Amino acid sequence: MTTHVQLPEPTAEVIAVQDDLVTIAPLGDHPLIKNEVVYIIPHGPEREGKPAEYLKAEVLRVRGKSAEAQVFESTTGVRVGDQVVQSGEMLSVALGPGLLSTVFDGLQNPLAEIASEHGFFLPRGVLTNALDATRKWAFTPKVKSGDAITAGDILGTVPEGRFEHKIMAPFTLTGAWTVERIREGSFTTQEIVATLTNKNGQTRDLTLVQHWPVRRAIPDRLVSLGKSERLYPSEPLITTIRLIDTFFPIARGGMGCIPGPFGAGKTVLQSLISRFSAVNIVIVVACGERAGEVVETITEFPHQPDPSGDGTLMDRTVIVCNTSSMPVAAREASIYTGLTLGEYYRQMGYDVLLIADSTSRWAQAMRETSGRLEEIPGEEAFPAYLDSSIKGVYERAGVIRTADGDTGSLTMIGTVSPAGGNFEEPVTQSTLGTVKTFLGLSADRAYKRFYPAVDPLLSWSRYPIQLENWFRDNIGADWASRVEEMIELLQRGDEISRMMQVTGEEGISTEDFVLQQKALFLDMVYLQQDAFDGVDISAPLARQQETFDIVYRVAKHDFGFDSKDAVRSFFTELTSLFKNLNYAAEGSQERNNLKDKIESTLSSALRTSG
């Protein structure tokens, strides 16, 4: 049953309403604060005999004694004179055990719990606890009475599925505190597990849950306290997708984006990244996509086995869901909710992946709110602060050394949905100026059924130089240079293909035709990956390296062909063999036979040197 939150008495009232923007004024000496959460209570004859509704809102701008607040739900029925409750708190999320396997909306309301009590048409104005207040957790203390404590220190742990959930001293603590009392046993999230005191005689009771304002990054606070250290990302995020890991890597703790038009495969690509990436926790933020795609994720994840261990994908996933049909204000807040949850698990020393789909709809929500506030618009009516907002979101990714010496990371990948696939529009351009990996999807490649439809001639990554030491130590000193050679081959092959569109095959030399076929071969057998094949769907790094070595040999060898028909015949046969090789299970006799067949085919076609 839904647990309702207790609120203080009303201290303000509504003085104007414009769509989801409400102007409020205090009733007495209660100052209004920017970013404070308030609750509007609609009243009137049509509400007689009905339960009170508490419409959550956030103060966006304070003007003298009045303030403008964006309401996170429909404002139908809200009128001048309606009462307003001030919470005295910023827009925050609850951080504690029970987050995993849960589907929240953008304000951290547990959707399944609300639906179980109210049905699938969610009512507005219902206040709930984000975390189950009745479930008990086995708490094991890691400190004892008399120990000194500061913000972020580990008080104890509780098991959350297969993870060890660290209960940390509130990040809002200032100064030094001492553990006066700490308990061991099973507790709900609302029971007191520890009591702290400071030198001024103040006491503070702690539960398994703490709250943190979503628009502030957790690490920034701890860095100022000297309790964590931001590190330089130095390892790649292994996704098991060949095109990404080999050609356009993303650093663990780094940031990337996947822009592309409708139907280019963004949803499938981000699903595979979330399923197979080498991370502990996945946060999926649906901040404006169509409801059908979100429903697919919610229904599939609980039934798909987790490739990284026992259980299902949902066991290590948190979904923050605000689709395009949900209130625009909550959509804007949802990405900050997901980021804060990701930072929380990073602070425990876990590797976290956050996928935001799509940041274009999130930016459109900001544009709507900015327009209602009558702010000076920027390009295409987006707010003038769009660029800084996008940078502020992505820059919350990173690697940190936590208070107890562990290393945690938060990798952020955002999908962008530019209208008509126009990469010149403001959201895409601001994102490109922020991220270090750009995986541009092409409608043309999607139409040709190339998957992933990432255009290797548009995409880029700035991480290879940053990750050079890791690749040298784990793969080989010449790995980066060989990848560069293959990118140059793709570029040269594209030039020849364009020339052939004008002149035909007869207009180019046999040598150029061989180059074009080599580039096509590389594209067909290495850059493409079958998302519906049980083997090729995920290529571990060792398997990628083995395949790349053979592809590289083909690309670098000179061939002695008498005609273009012989060139086409050879590469058609080789491509077919490699496709079958990609489908063959690792260590199987089929794979060994195919490798032997490939070597035999190459040997018969290679021209002897000299």
List pLDDT tens digits, range 158-177. Answer: 999 999 999 999 998 888 89
Residue type for position 547: T
Rounded to the nearest 5 percent, the helix, strand and coil shares of the chain are 35, 25, 40
More confident residue, 106 or 391: 391
Give the Cα separation of 132 and 94 in Å (integer): 11
Residue 392 · residue 434 · CB < 8 Å: no
- Answer positive or negative: Cα dihedral of 313, 302, 530, 397: negative
The pLDDT-based confidence of 3 (bands split at 50, 70, 90) is: very low
Q: Is residue 413 classed as helix, strand or coil in its secondary structure?
A: strand
Residue 60 is predicted with a pLDDT of 93
Mean pLDDT of 294-317: 82
Residue 406 is predicted with a pLDDT of 86
Phi-psi region of 75 (alpha: psi -120 to 50; beta: other; left: phi over 0): alpha
Whether 12-89 shares its CATH topology with 137-208 is answered no
Structure confidence by residue, pLDDT tens digits, 281-293: 999 998 876 656 6
The token pair that represents 395 in the structure block: 């820059």
Residue 190 is predicted with a pLDDT of 93
Structure confidence by residue, pLDDT tens digits, 333-376: 899 999 999 999 999 999 999 999 889 989 988 998 899 888 99
- Residues whose CB falls within 8 Å of the CB of residue 496, separated by 6 or more in sequence, listed in order: 508, 512, 513, 515, 516, 519
Structure confidence by residue, pLDDT tens digits, 53-106: 899 999 999 998 899 999 998 888 899 999 999 998 999 999 999 999 999 988
How many Cα neighbours within 13 Å face the side chain of 202?
Answer: 8
Distances from the Cα of 392 to the Cαs of 212, 332, 335, 339, 385, in angstroms? 17, 14, 11, 11, 10
Q: Which fold has domain 137-208?
A: OB fold (Dihydrolipoamide Acetyltransferase, E2P) (2.40.50)
Class of domain 242-459: alpha beta
Residue with tokens 């940390």: 168
Binding site for ATP: residue ranges? Answer: 260-267
The token pair that represents 579 in the structure block: 């496709």
The token pair that represents 35 in the structure block: 């970013």
Nearest to 60 by CA among 278, 495, 374, 452: 374
The pLDDT-based confidence of 265 (bands split at 50, 70, 90) is: confident
Residue 223 is predicted with a pLDDT of 56
Apex CA 292: angle with CA 291 and CA 294, to 5°?
A: 65
Give the Cα separation of 465 and 474 in Å (integer): 15
**For the chain, how big is the Rg over CA atoms in Å?**
28
- Which of 31-35, 120-124, 179-183, 410-414 has the weakest average pLDDT? 120-124
The token pair that represents 120 in the structure block: 């699938």
pTM above 0.75, yes or no: yes
How many Cα neighbours within 13 Å face the side chain of 244?
Answer: 32
The pLDDT-based confidence of 142 (bands split at 50, 70, 90) is: very high
The token pair that represents 411 in the structure block: 């990798």
Residue 394 is predicted with a pLDDT of 96
Residue 293 is predicted with a pLDDT of 66
- Residues whose CB falls within 8 Å of the CB of residue 197, separated by 6 or more in sequence, listed in order: 177, 178, 180, 203, 204
The phi, psi pair for 27, rounded to 5°, reads -85, -25
CA–chain centroid gap for 225, Å, is: 27
The token pair that represents 307 in the structure block: 């490739």
CA–chain centroid gap for 406, Å, is: 22
Instruction: Spell out the domain ranges in the chain.
Output: 12-89, 137-208, 242-459, 479-605
Residue 324 is predicted with a pLDDT of 59
Apex CA 526: angle with CA 560 and CA 583, to 5°?
A: 105
Apex CA 20: angle with CA 340 and CA 27, to 5°?
A: 90
Q: 483-486 contacts: CB < 8 A, separation 24 or more?
A: 483/246, 483/247, 485/552, 485/555, 485/556, 486/247, 486/522, 486/551, 486/552, 486/555
The pLDDT-based confidence of 328 (bands split at 50, 70, 90) is: confident
Per the prediction, the chain carries an average pLDDT of 90
The phi, psi pair for 133, rounded to 5°, reads -85, -5
Binding site: residue ranges? Answer: 260-267
Give the Cα separation of 527 and 608 in Å (integer): 29
Q: Does domain 479-605 have CATH number 1.10.1140.10?
A: yes
Alpha-carbon dihedral angle through residues 574, 577, 583, 589, given to the nearest 10 degrees: -140
Crossing angle of helices 510-522/541-556, nearest 10°? Answer: 180
Structure confidence by residue, pLDDT tens digits, 123-132: 888 888 999 9
Q: Is residue 563 classed as helix, strand or coil in its secondary structure?
A: coil
Mean pLDDT of 30-56: 83
Residue with tokens 């809002």: 172
Structure confidence by residue, pLDDT tens digits, 69-79: 999 988 888 99
Give the Cα separation of 117 and 350 in Å (integer): 34
Residue 229 is predicted with a pLDDT of 80
Crossing angle of helices 291-300/266-276, nearest 10°? Answer: 30
Nearest to 471 by CA among 234, 239, 310: 234
Mean pLDDT of 560-585: 93
How many Cα neighbours within 13 Å face the side chain of 441?
Answer: 29
More confident residue, 504 or 188: 188
Mean pLDDT of 585-592: 94
Residue 154 · residue 206 · CB < 8 Å: no
Q: Is residue 61 classed as helix, strand or coil in its secondary structure?
A: strand
Distances from the Cα of 102 to the Cαs of 11, 109, 132, in angstroms? 34, 10, 10
Q: What is the DSSP letter of 535?
A: T
What percentage of the chain exceeds 90 in pLDDT? 66
Residue with tokens 């004859």: 45
Pairing relationship of beta strands 229-231 and 398-401 according to DSSP bridges: antiparallel
Residue 19 is predicted with a pLDDT of 86
> Cα(first)–Cα(last) distance of the chain, in Å?
81
One of 3.30.70.3290, 3.30.200.20, 2.40.10.170, 2.70.98.10 is the CATH number of 12-89, namely 2.40.10.170
Alpha helices in 238-327 (DSSP H): 242, 266-276, 291-300
- Residues whose CB falls within 8 Å of the CB of residue 547, separated by 6 or more in sequence, listed in order: 242, 525, 526, 539, 578, 581, 582
Residue type for position 353: L
Crossing angle of helices 328-347/359-372, nearest 10°? Answer: 130
Residue 610 is predicted with a pLDDT of 33
